[in-house]
Structure 1
Amino acid sequence: GITYGTRQDSNRMAQFFTPEMPADKSMGVIAETLRQRPEAKRSMHPIYSFAGIGVENALDAQTLDDPLAPIAALTEANGWALLMGVDHTVNTSIHYGEQLAGRRQFIRWALTYQGVVECPHWPGCSGGFNKIAPHLEWITQTTQIGNALVQAIPLQPMIEIVQDILHENPLALLCDQPECERCNAVRDSVQNEF
């Protein structure tokens, strides 16, 4: 995908999506390990692709207009979020809770072999997502595997907690970086509502 604004270097690195493209390293080693499994399937969203095993219906639910549909399907099926050696800043499920709470979404554009494609309903910044950890402690199961903290969180109650937090404080879970364009846009949209 292409980011408009001040990150010209990342725009130069934009690539055409292919299913063979590795998972983003920020998601941790597990995402790429899963993607490489022969039985894994990957969704075809050009910038918000998911991979999984035995969850074809969830992966097939994703469209350009609904990039978080796999999380919605897993939530309805009483699925869990599993964070292995990573924190909530890569917990994509929180974005689904934001969407359900009515938080501002964005539009991005992706390079595809068919041309540039508009990708609506793009979530905001996840830099402030670790602020949710104390609210999730009572539903989170944790263990240590080697150096990695492993957290398993049931999606349904987590999504409800995200919505409750955002209904109580629409500015919750935003990052603290003054130059963050997406968090500032959310702040502006909340301010304009009042």
Structure 2
Amino acid sequence: MTPARETTPAALPRTALPGPGRRQSATSPPARTHLPECIPAPRDCTIALVWVPSTAFAAVGPQAAELIAAQTPTDVYGPVRTLADNDGALLLVGVGLNRMTALHLAEQQSGRQLPVRWARAADGRVIMVETGSCSEGFPRLEPWLRPLARTTQVGESQWSAYPAKKTLAAAVEAMTADQNVTHCANPHCLACRDSVSGGPIGRVPLG
């Protein structure tokens, strides 16, 4: 997505990541957080944070609030789907496909049910939320995703940008054809075994 054009920089007050299940934007009262003391940002730029237990997202720019609003305890990777729907891009900075969080959404779209964890919500309740599992096998998707990547070298770091919508579609196609394609190198990995088998059995009461 096109970043907001930088104007006169403004510094945010020292704030903190919101507690589980809480949202904050730069225009709302600060929650208890621990962000860096000064974050350069355009005056007309929205900064939004959300932290559903176990999976946190942050967004900066004119569409930040829209992206973050897509996440709920029952739709953890909603911001990734909204990014793709808005023709956004996925950027890997010095890391490989095993760190592309968006591929967990592709797992879900390929028919897998994501693993669940128990977490404490903002109101103190213990709830079940979906989460990503082992991602060490994601580099095996490279043959499908490499044609989509725009890669450059920045110093000793390799940066790669992928169109989100096409990347998810290519990953879903690969996983649908062979669920074992994302199994990591460890043949005894229980997380991969469960994922490629379809995930938890039966309906999971989320949230």
TM-score (norm 2): 0.70
Q: Distance in 2 between matches of 1:179 and 1:111?
A: 30
| Structure 2 counterpart of 1:19, one-letter code | L
Whether the aligned pair in 2 keeps the contact of 1:107 and 1:118 (CA below 8 Å) is no
1:44 aligns with 2:41: no
Query: 1:12 aligns to what?
Result: none
Question: Secondary structure of the equivalent of 2:127?
Answer: strand
Matched, 1:106 2:115: yes
CA distance in 2, matches of 1:187, 1:75: 24
Secondary structure of the 2:116 match is strand
Q: Please list the CA deviations of residues 104-132 of structure 1 after superposition, one character each: whole Å capped at 9, or x if unmatched.
A: 31110124453353233323211101111
Aligned with 2:137 (options 124, 128, 134): 128
Pick aligned residue for 1:62 from 43, 53, 71: 71
Aligned to 1:147: 156
Q: Contact 2:18 / 2:50 at 8 angstroms: preserved in 1?
A: no
Can you list the C-alpha shifts for 1:79-127, whole angstroms capped at 9, x where unaligned? 1000001111110111111111111311101244533532333232111
Q: Does 1:184 align with 2:182?
A: no
What is the CA–CA distance in structure 1 between the aligned matches of 2:18 and 2:74, rounded to whole Å? Answer: 23
Letter matched to residue 141 of structure 1 = R
Q: 1:187 to 1:96 in 2, by over 3 A?
A: closer
Change (3 A) 1:187 1:173: closer
Structure 1: 5+ residue stretches without partners: 1-17, 22-34
Q: Which of the numbers 83, 88, 92 marks the counterpart of 1:74?
A: 83
Structure 2 alignment gaps of length 5 or more? 1-15, 20-34, 42-46, 202-207
Please tell me the root mean square deviation across aligned C-alpha atoms, in Å. 2.3
SS state of the match for residue 78, structure 1? coil
Percent of aligned pairs sharing the same letter = 27
Q: What is the DSSP-based 3-state SS (H/G/I as helix, E as strand, rest coil) of the residue aligned with 2:182?
A: coil
C-alpha change, 1:188 and 1:136, in structure 2 (3 Å) is closer
CA distance in 1, matches of 2:97, 2:67: 22
Does residue 137 of structure 1 match 2:149?
no
State how many pairs are aligned: 161
C-alpha distance after superposition, 1:135-183 (max 9, x if no partner): 2121100001111100000011111111110111021112121342211
Cα distance in 2, alignment partners of residues 105 and 157 from structure 1: 21
Alpha-carbon distance in structure 1 between the residues aligned to 2:159 and 2:112: 28
2:80 counterpart letter in structure 1: I
Q: 1:93 to 1:113 in 2, by over 3 A?
A: closer
